[in-house]
Structure 1
Amino acid sequence: MYETNTNKQKIKLFLVILIPILITQLSMYAMNFFDTVMSGNAGAGELAGVAIGSSLWVPISTGINGILMALSPIVAQMVGAKKEQDIPKTVQQGIYLSIGLGLVVSIIGFLFIEPILSFMDLESHVRYVAKYYLITIGIGIIPLFIFNLLRCYIDALGQTRMSMFIILLSLPLNIIFNYVFIFGKLGFPALGGIGAGLASALTYWLCCGITIFVVYKVNPFRAHKIFSSWTPPSLHAWWEQLRIGVPIGFSIFFEVSIFSAVTLFMSVYNTFTIAAHQAAINFASFLYMIPLSIATALTIAVGYEIGAKRINDAKAYSYMGIASGVVIAFLAGFILYAFDDPVAKLYNANPEVVALTKNFIFYAIFFQFADAFGAPLQGILRGYKDVNITFWMSLVSYWLIGLPSGWILANYASFGPYGYWMGLIIGLSAGAITLFGRMIYLQNKLSKQFNKKILNQY
């Protein structure tokens, strides 16, 4: 990161940060994408099992990774304020925290996977695939969290191309692992959807190992000596990260978990409906990586400018990011509308599953508009370290407005399973509107404080 003086310079720097993040996010989600597509080609039951397993795993993993994302604005503001000497101990405490959170998630999963799946009305094979998909992917929980923590540190320094490089190395191996374990190649048994979980776990270990090597050996990370002179775990340091990270994590959890909750509610429908829902949500989520990448870039850029006390520059980056999100919304909507049939056939060749998937994709066109507008706003507010209010906004928008609306439309109107998707549209739209209002309020508040400070100097 560096100071910019014109909008042209800001656009150039923003793109330099954004493009590697975008490639990284698309590549990371491509792992889940290939899990789903390749499992679907192993059978509708395998796809449905992975759908149920993912609906339980993804909200937890993204929520915890959201907590670890607190490191990005913290480090970005340290860089902007020229306090880089504090970075090593901050990252070390983040590593301790990621290991602790990984252990907690593993214990909770061990205790509750079986009761949760038994509670759901699933076909026996679908339940079996979901259970062991979760167990195998759990092997990689701790390395996944350490990797994401270190990636936040790398990105906060503006070195987003390094994260891109690590993921681009790992993605082809993930596809190979999927091919080997799902379909039973090179002498391994065909594990179907369970093989997708094992492939993901092995990839998490690979990503973690490469990232540790990079941080230890490659400049500018090497200069911080993250793995030298370890400080002991500090509850105070953990609290400083959790104070920012927990609201971020829960905000992400509330947004992601509403999709998972919908998948769980879909368990009352037949296997084809579950499979079609998962296929459509998987591809729509793949497109969502674009506004999510914009959000991550905005957190870094806004955080850096706020750390340097450049209020107007932070505002300029904010509106640049929002405009990018709107453009992406129209592009993603066109892709979903124009290519619904080939997209549906990527996941499964069954005509009934394809027809249902295309119906779900139609609704995805509308809710991705709200996503493309709302995600950058979340990134902006994280850059300001304004995270508590977004936590409550997410809870109300997604769980008190979106999900109840979907349940009513699905069960008391003629929409059936599509009613839940209409609820998603309502909830995401409500969230985007409230986040925009919060951003305007915060920017006006900071501008008044800044102007008052200047007047007091005279």
Structure 2
Amino acid sequence: MASKPGASRDRGLIARHAATVLVGQLAVMAFGVTDTIVAGRYAEGALAALSVGSAIFISVYVSLMGGLQALLPIWAELHGGRRTADVGRSVRQSLYLCAAAIALGMGLLLFPAPLLRWTEVPAAMRHDVEAYLQVLAFALAPALLFRVFSTLSQSLGKPQLVTWLQLASLGLKLPLSIWFAFGGAGLPALGLVGCGWATLVVNYAMLGAAVWLLRSDPFYTGYRFWQRIEPPDWRQLRQFARLGVPAGLSVLVEVTSFTLMALFIARLGTAASAAHQIAANLTAVAYMVPLSLSIATSARVSYWLGAGDAALARRACARGFELTVLFALLFAGAMAALRWQLAAVYSANPAVIALGATLLLATALYHFADALQTLCVFVLRCYHVTVMPLALYCALLWGMGLGGGYLLAYRGIGPWVAMASPLAFWLMGAAALALTAGLFVALLLATLRRRR
């Protein structure tokens, strides 16, 4: 049987969409790279505090962002079905969800002390961490509102404007972080907190530009977003919740299994925290590739589902899977081969460089498994499969990955004595993600067979 013309175009469309999203995501990730390098050059203690503070902020922000990102299949299906007016109404309703996410996130970031005590973060670090998070709490609202704009644009197959805004924001973030951290021109050196203030300024600038585009760009004005917001549509909000709540909780489990490592590692000292921050930052940057491919693939799968063509939806999934495996192998290989050079970019301390290079061997395995499971979970959301991934995440990433890493680091597991090293967390995390990826692939294949 000859393939349909749409199938042959999907690989190219997914690749171009993902490349555009990737450029923007890397620009945003460069915020973290910038702060890591600036903090590391400012003081080793600042880098260690950033490791803890960024772990908490990322856990909160990315979890809430995951709930909003889960709306992409809804809007892509409406776009595929040519239901323009419904897209506008649905986006206005999403603002209720976004407001709740902002309130929850700010509450967590403004009062992190109980979490810092529970994870036994050293008292000497806590003041800097709390001051940094209090600034970022007020940067959360513009960040989440901009994420709604970004998700909308991606669902409509128009990520280019988002990418241009993200690139422009990097040009503002870099000099502001350096200036606010080290001081100058009458401004005192603010250290790590200065990096937080730079993020706040940039986030509001990005949101302002997004609002201007929504009001003035002809592509967006056709959806009539700026009508008076309707009262809460509980049917629509329940649909959002069925996708967004499990998705947000899944992201929470996934991200905290990654970021809580920093809090548990903090008790090993500043060198261990600094080395972990290097590995975590590079892993997060590399993750932007499978994340971009997953966003692009899910947008295309949902588009075909909305257009009523399940066969082309399956083929779009296959094209996305091929690209994800290819790039995961390339990035994992580069991470292992260039581990010494990469670690040296972040620190001049030989002990930090040596430990960081060791960790990057484990992160190469971690990245490959992470790429596969990310694509699977995004596509599963297109088919409204969200509860089973959440259950698997809880059991494997929290139980085997984070819990197993804690035991291997501090107490030992069976014949393996306690390692007292961040390497224990990365090894167990990689093993948990590998098992998760295998189970998600099987779940996705079963789902696709049922939807034939």
Give me the TM-score of the superposition, normalised by structure 2.
0.94
In structure 1, the residue matched to 2:83 is 83
Tell me if structure 1 keeps the 8 A contact 2:183–2:190.
Answer: yes
In 2: Cα distance, 1:8 partner to 1:259 partner: 37
Q: Which residue of 2 aligns with 1:293?
A: 292
2:438 aligned with 1:433, yes or no? yes
Superposed displacement of residue 6, structure 1: 4.7
Q: TM-score, structure 1 length as denominator?
A: 0.93
Question: After the TM superposition, which residues 243-322 of structure 1 pair with which residues of structure 2 at under 5 Å, given as runs?
Answer: 243-322=242-321
CA positional deviation for 1:315:
1.0
SS at 1:189's partner residue? coil
Tell me how far apart the structure 2 counterparts of residues 267 and 9 of structure 1 sit (CA, whole Å).
48
CA distance in 2, matches of 1:107, 1:10: 42
Question: Contact 1:374–1:435 (CA<8 Å) still a contact in 2?
Answer: yes
Structure 1 residue 342 displacement after superposition: 2.2
1:393 pairs with 2:389? no
User: Does structure 1 residue 157 correspond to structure 2 residue 156?
Assistant: yes
Q: Structure 1 residues 202, 4: CA separation in 2 closer, same or farther (over 3 Å shift)?
A: farther
Task: State the identity %.
Answer: 25
TM-superposed deviation, 1:237: 3.0
Structure 2 distance, partners of 1:373, 1:104, is: 30
3-state secondary structure, aligned to 2:230: coil
1:446 aligns with 2:451: yes
Q: Is 1:4–1:10's contact at 8 Å kept on the other side of the alignment?
A: no
Report the CA distance between 1:145 and its aligned residue: 0.8
Please give the residue correspondences for 1:141-152 in structure 2 after superposition, counting only pairs within 5 Å.
Answer: 141-152=140-151
Alignment of 1:123-138 (within 5 A): 123-138=122-137
**Number of the residue aligned with 1:350:** 349
Is 1:70–1:242's contact at 8 Å kept on the other side of the alignment? no
Asked whether the equivalents of residues 45 and 125 of structure 1 are also in contact (C-alpha less than 8 Å), the reply is: no
Q: Give the alignment of 1:18-33 within 5 angstroms.
A: 18-33=18-33
1:55-85 C-alpha deviation (Å, 9 max, x unpaired):
1111111010011112211110011122221
Deviation at 1:277, TM superposition (A): 0.5
Structure 2 match to 1:191 = 190
Q: Give the direction of change, closer, same or farther, for the CA distance of 1:267–1:394 in structure 2 (3 Å limit).
A: same
> Quick check: 333-342 or 213-222, which moved more?
333-342
Question: Map of 1:350-389 to 2, 5 A cutoff?
Answer: 350-389=349-388
Tell me, yes or no, if the aligned pair for 1:117 and 1:131 is still in contact at 8 Å: no
1:456 equivalent in structure 2: none
Tell me what 1:217 maps to.
Answer: 216
Contact 2:328/2:368 (8 A) holds in 1: yes
How far 1:4 moved relative to its partner? Answer: 6.8
Alpha-carbon RMSD: 1.7
Amino acid at match of 1:416: A
- Provide structure 1 residue ranges, at least 5 long, that are not aligned to the other structure: 448-458
Distance in 2, Cα, partners of 1:51 & 1:292: 22
Structure 2, unpaired ranges of 5+: none
> How much has 1:233 moved relative to structure 2?
3.4
SS at match of 1:214: helix
Could you tell me which residue of structure 1 aligns to residue 94 of structure 2?
Answer: 94
Moved more, 153-162 or 383-392: 383-392
Q: Is the 8 A contact 1:147 1:211 kept in 2?
A: yes
Letter in 1 for 2:9: Q
Q: Aligned partners of 1:372 and 1:106: how far apart in 2?
A: 30
* Alpha carbons of structure 1 residues 235 and 251: separation in structure 2 relative to 1, 3 Å: same
